[in-house]
Structure 1
Amino acid sequence: MIQLLKKDNILIGKNHLLFILCTIFISLPCILLGVEAAGIYVFSSILVFFIVIIGSLLSDREQESTNFLLTLPISRKTLVLSKYTSSFLVALENWAVTSIILFLFTYFLPKQITLSGFNLLLGLVWTIGLLIFTLSILLPVYYAFGNKAMRWVILVPLILASFSSQFFNSDFFQELLIQVTKFSAYSLITIFLVVSLLIYGVSFIVSLLVIKKKDF
C-alpha cells in the first residue's frame, strides 16, 4: 500500500510546481478583484483536479501501470484503495498549499484579504468536498472504460456550467436557497462534508466491483 502511494506521488510530483505557479497566478487577480478566500479554494480545487489528478490518471493509463501492478502479488482491493487514498491526500495537500499561499498574500496585501479560522475550515470543506465528489464519478469510469470515457466525463461539468445561469434564476433554486438559509453555516458545512465522504465510499465500492470483474 505504501509503495503504491509512493508510486502515485512520483507520477504527480512533476505537476506540483505547475499547480503552485498556477494557483499563485490565479489567486493574485482574484484577491485584487475582491474574491473571497472560499472562492479561491474552489479555483485551486479545479486547478489541482485538471493539472495533478487528471495528469496522474493519464500517465497511469499511458504507462499501463495498472496492468503491470496486477502481475504482482497485489490485491485489486489494495490497488483501488491506494488510488482513492492518494486522491484524498492530494485534496488535503491542495488545501494546505492554497492556505499557505493565502497566508503569504495576507502578509503582503493585508488590506485586500483576511483569513479567519472559518475561512480555513470552509476552504478545507470546499477542497475535500468538491474534489472527492468529482472523483467519485470519475474513478469508476476510469477503471471501467479508460481514458476515452474519462475525457467525456470531464466535459459533463463544463456542459452543465453553460446552463448554470438558467438554473440559478429558476424558482426551484430560489426555493432551495430559502430552505438552505434556515440552517447554520457550520451545519451546512458538516452535511456537505459527510455526504461527500459517503459518496466517495460508495464510489470506492463501485470501482472495486468493476476492477474485480474486469479482465485487464
Structure 2
Amino acid sequence: MKGLLIKDFKLMKGQKNFFLAIVAIALAMITLSPGTSFAIGFLGFVGSLFSLSSISYDEFDNGNAFLFSLPITRKEYVLEKYTFGVLCGIASLFLGTLISFFSILITDKGNLREMFLTACTLLPVILLLLSIMLPFVLKFGGEKGRIAILGMMGFLFVAGILFTKIAEYMKIDFYPLAKRLSQIDPHVYILFFLFLAITALAVSCLVSQSILNKKEF
C-alpha cells in the first residue's frame, strides 16, 4: 500500500499548480472577508477530492489492468484510496485552519473558538463525503461516478423537501427538539458525528472492496 500512496502523492504533485490556485482562492476570500472560516471548508473539501481524481488517473488508458498485474491486492487498492482521501482531507483541513487562524490573529476579526469548532465539525463531514463518493467512483468510474453522485445528491435534496412538506402537512413541530438539542455541548455533537462518520467510512470501505472484487479489467 505504501507504493500506491507514493504513486498518488506523486500524481498529486503533478497537480501542484491546481492546488496552488485553490490556496490562492482561499487566501483571496479570507482577505476579502476576514474572520470567516471559508478557507477551512473550501480547502478541506477540495483536498479530499484528490482521491477521486487519482482513481480517474488509474483508469486512464486501461491503467488498472497494468496496475493489478503488480503484486497488490484489490483490498489494498481500496484501503489506499480511503487512506489517501483521508490524509488529503485532513491535511487540507489543517491548512485551511492555519490560514483562518493567522487571518484572525492579524486582522483581529473572528472568533478562534468558533473557528476550531468549525474545523472539528467539518472533519466528520469530509469523512462522510468520502464514504459516499468513493464507492460510486469505484463502481461507475471517474466520469460516470460523478454523474451518479450528482444524481444521488439530487435525490436526497428532493427527499429532504418532501420530508419537510410531509412534516408541515402533518403539523409536526421540530422546534422543541431543535431547542433541546441546541442546549447540548457542541463537543458532544462533534464526537458523536465523528463516530458516525468513521463507522460510515468503515462500511463504505467494505462496500468498495466488494465492488472492486466484482470488476473485471
Q: TM-score range by the shorter chain?
A: 0.7 to 0.9
Aligned to 2:131: 136
Aligned to 1:44: 43
User: Contact (CA 8 Å) 1:106, 1:115: kept in 2 or not?
Assistant: yes
Is residue 93 of structure 1 aligned with residue 91 of structure 2?
Answer: yes
Separation in 2 of the partners of 1:19 and 1:90? Answer: 11
User: Any residues of structure 2 matched to 1:180-191 within 5 Å, and which?
Assistant: 180-191=181-192
User: Contact (CA 8 Å) 1:60, 1:66: kept in 2 or not?
Assistant: yes
- Alpha-carbon spacing, 1:103–1:141, altered in 2? closer, same or farther (3 Å): same
Separation in 1 of the partners of 2:63 and 2:104? Answer: 42
Q: CA deviation at 1:101?
A: 1.8
SS of aligned partner of 1:183: coil
User: Contact (CA 8 Å) 1:140, 1:207: kept in 2 or not?
Assistant: yes
Separation in 1 of the partners of 2:156 and 2:203? Answer: 25
Task: Report the TM-score when normalising by structure 1.
Answer: 0.79
RMSD: 3.2
Aligned to 1:147: 142
Is residue 212 of structure 1 aligned with residue 213 of structure 2?
Answer: yes
- Alpha-carbon spacing, 1:114–1:21, altered in 2? closer, same or farther (3 Å): farther
1:145-197 Cα deviation digits (max 9, x unpaired): 21233121342476479769968897579546334314210010111111011
- Alpha-carbon spacing, 1:104–1:111, altered in 2? closer, same or farther (3 Å): closer
1:7-39 Cα deviation digits (max 9, x unpaired): 1111122334433432442354356446642x5
Separation in 2 of the partners of 1:27 and 1:156? Answer: 32
Aligned to 1:7: 7
Task: Report the TM-score when normalising by structure 2.
Answer: 0.79
Q: Size of the alignment, in residue pairs?
A: 211
1:183-214 Cα deviation digits (max 9, x unpaired): 21001011111101100000000011111122
- Alpha-carbon spacing, 1:168–1:42, altered in 2? closer, same or farther (3 Å): farther
User: Contact (CA 8 Å) 1:92, 1:124: kept in 2 or not?
Assistant: no
Separation in 1 of the partners of 2:39 and 2:158? Answer: 22
SS of aligned partner of 1:71: coil
User: Any residues of structure 2 matched to 1:1-216 within 5 Å, and which?
Assistant: 1-30=1-30, 32-33=32-33, 36-37=36-37, 39-50=38-49, 52-108=50-106, 110-116=107-113, 119-126=115-122, 128-156=123-151, 159=154, 174-175=174-175, 177-216=178-217
Code of the aligned partner of 1:203: S
Q: Percent identity?
A: 24
- Structure 2 unaligned regions, length at least 5: none
Q: CA deviation at 1:6?
A: 0.5
1:80-131 Cα deviation digits (max 9, x unpaired): 11111111101111122112222332343x2333434x633540441x3222
Separation in 1 of the partners of 2:44 and 2:153? Answer: 15
SS of aligned partner of 1:99: helix
User: Contact (CA 8 Å) 2:41, 2:93: kept in 1 or not?
Assistant: no
- Structure 1 unaligned regions, length at least 5: none
